[in-house]
Each structure stands twice: as C-alpha cells, then as structure tokens.
Chains A and B, each alone.
Chain A
Amino acid sequence: MSWEIAINRTINNNVPRVYSVLEKYPYILELAEQLRKAKLEVLKDLENYVEETVESVKRIGGVPHVVGNADEAKEEIRKIVGSRNRIVLGKSMVAYELGLRDYLSQIGKEVWETDLGEFLIQIAKEHPSHIIAPAIHMSKERAEDLVRKILGNLPEGATHEQIVMRVREFLRDKFINAEVGITGANAIAADTGSIILVENEGNIRFSTVSPSVHISVAGFEKIVPTLHHAMMEAMVQAAYAGLYPPTYVNLTSGPSSTGDIEMKRVSPAHGPREFHLVLVDNGRLRASKDSDLQEALLCIRCGRCHLHCPVYRVMDGSWGVPPYSGPMGAMWSYIVYNDAKPSTLCAHSGGCKEVCPMKINIPRVLEKIKYRYYREQRKS
C-alpha cells in the first residue's frame, strides 16, 4: 500500500510540473534535440572521446582513471582513498552500479550518502527504486518512522520539513569532517575535462568542495563533445526531471586553484587538492557498438520514463536490477549486468518513448533485448 500511495503522490507532484516547465521554457526542447545529436556523435566514436577526455583531465591538473569493470573501479578508488577514512557520497547511480558504498564500508571506511533520498536508502538498507528519486517508494510516513528510528530526535507526526531538518543536522558533521568526497557526473566535457553536476540540496557542493579529495565516478556515456554540451545536459536533465531551474549546477575542472597572485594559476586553493575522474566502461563500449543497444546510452537519467510506464507504476520499484529500475532500467540492467530478464516485462505501452528527452525508442530496444533473452533461454 505504501508504494501505491507514494507513487500516486509522486506522479501528481511531478508530471504536471514537468509539462509546466517545458511549456514555460521552450528552448529546453531545442537543447534536447541538439544534445541528442551531440551524444550520438560521441557514441559513434566512443574510444576516441574517452581518450580526449583523459587528455583534457590531465591538462587541467586532474587525474583520469579508465576502468573496465566494477572490480577495477573499486580497486582504483581504494587506491585513491588510501588511508583516509571519512567519506561522503553524492548520489551516483554508477557508484551504486559498482557496489562502491558497500565495498568502502567493508574495507572499514566510514561512508555516508548525502543525497536525502539515497541517505534514506542507506539507513533503510534498501535498494533505490527510481533513478533520480531513489526513495520514491517511501511515503512521507515511512521516511518519518525511519529517520526517527535511526537518528532519533524527531517528533511524532513530523512534517516533511522537520524530517529534512533532522537529516541536515546529522549530515553537517559528516560533511565538515569528510576527507574524501565521491560524486557522479551528469555530464563530462571531452574538450575541457570538466564535469557537471546538477543538484538541489547543496550536498554535492559540500561533497565536491569541502574534502581535500574529490573523486568523480561516471560511465563513458556521460561524455559529451564540449563544455557547452555538458551545460545543455544539465539543463535538459533538470527540466525533464521537473526540477527546473535546478538550485545548483556545479562545474568542476580539476582541483581547486587560484590566479590571484600575478594571475599565475596555482593549485590547490581552498577546495580539494586532488581531483580524480574515474571513467567506467562496464559494458558501455560494447553497447555503443551494438546497433540494437546504442540508443540506450543516450539516456540522461531524468527518470521521466518511469512515471509514464504502467509496469513501473505497479511494481514497487522492483522492475530492473538496482539502481536501474523502470523502462530505462530494463535496458541498463542488460547493458551493465547482462540481465535481459527485466525486458520481458515491457508491455510496449510506449509512454516512455513519447516523453524521453533523448527520443530513445525504449520499447524497440527492449524488444531486441527480449529477443536475445528468449533465444538464450531456448539454447540452454
């Protein structure tokens, strides 16, 4: 029952708002069209764009790391973290895909999710149920009970505002004392090596600026040709998520720096002294060369397809392999986990393709994955 209440509230809160945003800011539609073209260009030549990104990150004083799979990624991040212990995370689906939080906890690090939704997921020991609102399956009442139980000091019948305030109090200390901040990236500019992060809470700013080390973990598909395109992706993602204008757009180009003494650029300044970009393949390169799957890599993770999908709406957020839920998740479960089974539950209702800002024909992609699934089943 909790799911039904939560998803209905979410649809009513979010869907009309997205339409209103797109009506009010029609230039977003043009940006989405341009972005699709730019992202397709990258996908046709992904290896070279990865290489260009690596060179750009080096040029701005960052450290690039290109990893093939989850184990390589975790090992690389373990080395970067070293003996530092206190880690804050900004919500990253790729970090979740890699099992990064669990891994760091297992090797003895103190790790805290700082996005409110992801924090609720962490303390509930559950899986995310939506790509941008990971705790969408929790009603306010459930979130309230959870925060009271784990953090305490929350009155009965607490409001949304009181719940948020209690988590804020708890996380303040974690931000201030963190030694490493790990985030994802909404977009990566190949030409400058910059990453763009879109957020509303302010937790990503804290995570990227306060600790002395900032690690950004992102899939290859986040690369776009230029910084101009990366900014576009931020705007389009936020608008199609119904959160436009976003409260914050963070642009990070290497470690902190200053040019205030004789305009000589010196690093570090007040912010992180190290910036690492971990670029993750984990099936993406293969998918980029697969004409049936390439379109899936255009996904900008706005999460809009979820709310227009009849299957997602009734499935308790459990359709797909976490964190990849919903229609996009059924595609991505196959790309990164090689799990084709979620595709079999696509009812080809088509709402997802209608609302996708990247015009991904999700039902067609899933049809091809379904085909592979049954073909393999018959062989075995």
Chain B
Amino acid sequence: MESVISLVKESLRKYGMPFPVDKKVCSGWTNDLPRKGETVLFTSCMYQIEPVVPTLNRFSSMAGVLKGVIPLAKYLKPSKEEQARAYKILNNIANALRRQGITPAYLYEDEPYSGALLLEMGLLDDFRNHAMMVATFLKERGVKRVITVDPHTHNALSRYREFVDFDVEVLNYLELVEINRKVNEEFTIHDSCLYSRFLNLRGKYRDLLKSAGVNLVEDFLVTGKETSTCCGGPLAGVDRELSEKIAKRRAEELEKLSNKLLVACPICYVTLSPHFKGSIKDVAEVVL
C-alpha cells in the first residue's frame, strides 16, 4: 500500500495528478472555452485519464519497480478510441451547459486535481494540504463557481469546507443540463455510489433519462438505492484482486437485467468494462 501512496504523492508533485500523465491529454478535448471566468468547468482529468489507471494499478503492488514505472508511465496514454470517447463526453457536457446559457471557463493545463484519491484513501492530512492549494489557486483566479463532471471530483470539492476555507460554489453538470435527444432504447443502470448515496444526485440522471425516453430496467435488489453495490473501482489501488472480484460480481448482476448498461462515472466505466459482456455507455453520451 505504501507503494501506491508513494506513487500518488510523487505523481502529484511531478504532474499535478495522482498518476503520471501528460497534461495535454487532460486538456486536449477543447480549445474553444475561455481560459478565465467566475464559473469553471472542473474535469480533474478524470474522464481523460481513467482508462490508463488499471494499467498503473497492475504495478501498484510492486513497490520496487515503481520508481522505474513513474518516468515510463508518463508515456502511457489512453488509446485513440478511449481518448475520443472521453473528449466526446466532455464536449457533450460543455455544449449542454452552453445550451442552458452557461459558458464555463476551463483552466486547460492549469486545471488542478481535486484530491479525490487522497480523500478516499484516508490520507486526510494530504487531502487538507491539497485542498488548501486548490482553494488558493481558485481564489487567485477569481473562480466563484465550479461545475464538476464526475462523482469523485464532485465529492472531493464538496467536502473541501470540512478541511479548509472554501467559498466556491460546487455544482454538478447533472444539476444544470437538460436532455438533447430522444432515446427510445432500453438500458439498465449502475449507479455511482457517490452520486447515489452521498451526493443526492441519483434522481437527477434518472430524470434526464426518463425525459429522453430511456426505458430503464431496474430491479429492487440490483439497482435500488440501498441495495445496489459498488463497481469495486475505489479499491483497485488498495487490493486489485478484491476490486476485480467486486466488479465481476456486479457485472454479473447487471447482465441479468440487460446487455446495455449505463454508468455516470468514469471509474465505474473502466472497472466494469472488462467484466460486463454487453455494451456500456455514460449517461452523458446517451442523453446530451
């Protein structure tokens, strides 16, 4: 575990991200959003970089090789398809916000990481320090409101106030957008644990899906608020085998409902993909 902590901290120091990453991969999805503004779209590079995280996790238990992995890993990039998918999702969200009259700024290569991983690993002192750095940075940029696009970033930023002075409003795109198309298809859904049980956003994407005409196949024991379970992703850095067992079990449960699955989180997508036999799409790919 210490190896993962070292990797995360060293990467944060070197790349500003918990994993080795080229910031151009993070910012390459747009060039037409303003660089400055009181309202900022905050991606935390989650959709962009998550596809390579499983590769890095494979090395996480090998403390000895990590020092060698870090310089090599910065060359690890999502495949063209993975990158295109992430970029499409982010553009769908940005365009949906514009349709609502919101043109957010984007911080491009300067966008900081939210600190979500530090929080979720229980590295609370590090999270506090990171939050302080991000809060100061946003204040210096005159940011008054951030719009998040994934549950982990939303959760981390929403909890800043527990740790530091933070007077920036934190909203999620799901609270602001409306559907852009009619989708007369049938899906089942895997809820993000954070959206569903911590952030009170479970109903938001269900409303969007309903408005779009999606036929959501739900089952009390599989997709209920209290009964649905995690994809296993948050444990990947702690215990990869356990994470995969959870993902496999979850995918098997969901497959019984439909071979078309919706998710609302990049970590859920990446974690369930190797195990779910049908197709998986993000909510923002389907209704925006």
For B193, what are the chain A residues with a Cβ–Cβ distance below 8 Å?
Answer: 347-351
How far in angstroms is the closest Cβ of chain A from B40? 26
A372 to chain B: closest residue by CB:
B122
CA distance A351 to B197 in the complex (A): 7
B249 touches A374 (CB 8 A): no
B225 within 8 A of A: yes
A310 within 8 A of B: yes
Residues of chain B from 215 to 270 with CB closer than 8 A to chain A in the complex: 220-221, 225-230, 232, 234-235, 238-239, 242, 245-246, 249-250
A345 touches B235 (CB 8 A): yes
Given that A15-B221, A367-B124 are contacting pairs, would A350 and B198 also be in contact in the complex, using a CB cutoff of 8 Å? yes
B1 within 8 A of A: yes
For A16, what are the chain B residues with a Cβ–Cβ distance below 8 Å?
Answer: 220-221
B120 to chain A: closest residue by CB:
A348
Residues of chain B from 99 to 157 with CB closer than 8 A to chain A in the complex: 119-125
B33 within 8 A of A: no
B242 touches A315 (CB 8 A): yes
CA distance A350 to B225 in the complex (A): 10
Given that A311-B246, A314-B249 are contacting pairs, would A348 and B226 also be in contact in the complex, using a CB cutoff of 8 Å? no
B2 within 8 A of A: yes
Q: Count chain B residues whose beta carbon lies closer than 8 angstroms to a beta carbon of A.
A: 33
Given that A310-B232, A373-B122 are contacting pairs, would A344 and B197 also be in contact in the complex, using a CB cutoff of 8 Å? no
A371 within 8 A of B: yes
Given that A16-B221, A353-B197 are contacting pairs, would A371 and B124 also be in contact in the complex, using a CB cutoff of 8 Å? yes
B201 within 8 A of A: no
Instruction: Map CB proximity to B onto A160-200 as digits: 1 under 8 Å, 0 otherwise.
Output: 00000000000000000000000000000000000000000
A314 touches B226 (CB 8 A): no
B179 within 8 A of A: no
CA distance A343 to B235 in the complex (A): 12
B25 within 8 A of A: no
How far in angstroms is the closest Cβ of chain B from A238? 19
For A367, what are the chain B residues with a Cβ–Cβ distance below 8 Å?
Answer: 119, 122, 124
Q: Count chain A residues whose beta carbon lies closer than 8 angstroms to a beta carbon of B.
A: 33
B230 touches A354 (CB 8 A): no
B227 touches A314 (CB 8 A): no
B5 within 8 A of A: yes
A344 touches B238 (CB 8 A): yes
How far in angstroms is the closest Cβ of chain A from B235? 5
B121 touches A310 (CB 8 A): no
For B221, what are the chain A residues with a Cβ–Cβ distance below 8 Å?
Answer: 11-12, 15-16
For A374, what are the chain B residues with a Cβ–Cβ distance below 8 Å?
Answer: 1, 5, 121-123
A377 touches B249 (CB 8 A): no
B198 to chain A: closest residue by CB:
A350
A370 within 8 A of B: yes
For A355, what are the chain B residues with a Cβ–Cβ distance below 8 Å?
Answer: 226
CA distance A347 to B2 in the complex (A): 18
Interface of chain B, helix or strand or loop or mixed? helix
A375 within 8 A of B: yes
B2 to chain A: closest residue by CB:
A377
A308 within 8 A of B: yes
Q: CB < 8 Å: which of A344, A354, A368 contacts B226? A: A354
Given that A310-B250, A315-B242 are contacting pairs, would A347 and B230 also be in contact in the complex, using a CB cutoff of 8 Å? yes
Given that A16-B221, A345-B242 are contacting pairs, would A310 and B122 also be in contact in the complex, using a CB cutoff of 8 Å? no
For B198, what are the chain A residues with a Cβ–Cβ distance below 8 Å?
Answer: 348, 350
A65 within 8 A of B: no
B229 touches A310 (CB 8 A): yes
For B122, what are the chain A residues with a Cβ–Cβ distance below 8 Å?
Answer: 343-344, 367-371, 373-374
Instruction: Map CB proximity to B onto A102-139 as digits: 1 under 8 Å, 0 otherwise.
Output: 00000000000000000000000000000000000000
CA distance A309 to B229 in the complex (A): 7
Given that A15-B221, A15-B227, A310-B246 are contacting pairs, would A349 and B197 also be in contact in the complex, using a CB cutoff of 8 Å? yes
Q: CB < 8 Å: which of A11, A314, A351, A354 contacts B245? A: A314
CA distance A355 to B224 in the complex (A): 12
CA distance A378 to B2 in the complex (A): 8
Instruction: Map CB proximity to A onto B1-44 as digits: 1 under 8 Å, 0 otherwise.
Output: 11001000000000000000000000000000000000000000
Q: CB < 8 Å: which of B119, B123, B124, B249 contacts A313? A: B249
CA distance A308 to B221 in the complex (A): 10
B239 touches A345 (CB 8 A): yes
How far in angstroms is the closest Cβ of chain B from A131? 18
For B250, what are the chain A residues with a Cβ–Cβ distance below 8 Å?
Answer: 310
CA distance A303 to B1 in the complex (A): 29
Instruction: Map CB proximity to B onto A327-352 as digits: 1 under 8 Å, 0 otherwise.
Output: 00000000000000001110111110
Given that A16-B221, A367-B124, A370-B122 are contacting pairs, would A347 and B234 also be in contact in the complex, using a CB cutoff of 8 Å? yes
How far in angstroms is the closest Cβ of chain B from A338? 17
CA distance A355 to B125 in the complex (A): 30
A311 touches B235 (CB 8 A): yes
How far in angstroms is the closest Cβ of chain B from A64? 39
CB<8 Å pairs between A and B, sample of 29: A16-B220, A19-B220, A308-B229, A309-B229, A310-B232, A310-B246, A310-B249, A310-B250, A311-B230, A313-B249, A345-B238, A345-B242, A347-B235, A348-B193, A348-B234, A349-B197, A350-B193, A351-B226, A351-B227, A351-B228, A355-B226, A367-B122, A368-B122, A371-B123, A371-B125, A374-B121, A374-B122, A375-B125, A377-B2
7 cross-chain pairs, A with B, having the tightest CB-CB distances, nearest first:
A370-B122, A350-B197, A349-B230, A310-B229, A314-B245, A349-B193, A371-B122
Binding site for A on B (CB under 8 A): 1-2, 5, 119-125, 193-194, 196-198, 220-221, 225-230, 232, 234-235, 238-239, 242, 245-246, 249-250
- For the complex with contacts A345-B242, A347-B193, A367-B122, 4 further pairs of A-B residues with Cβ separation under 8 Å are A315-B242, A351-B228, A367-B119, A377-B2
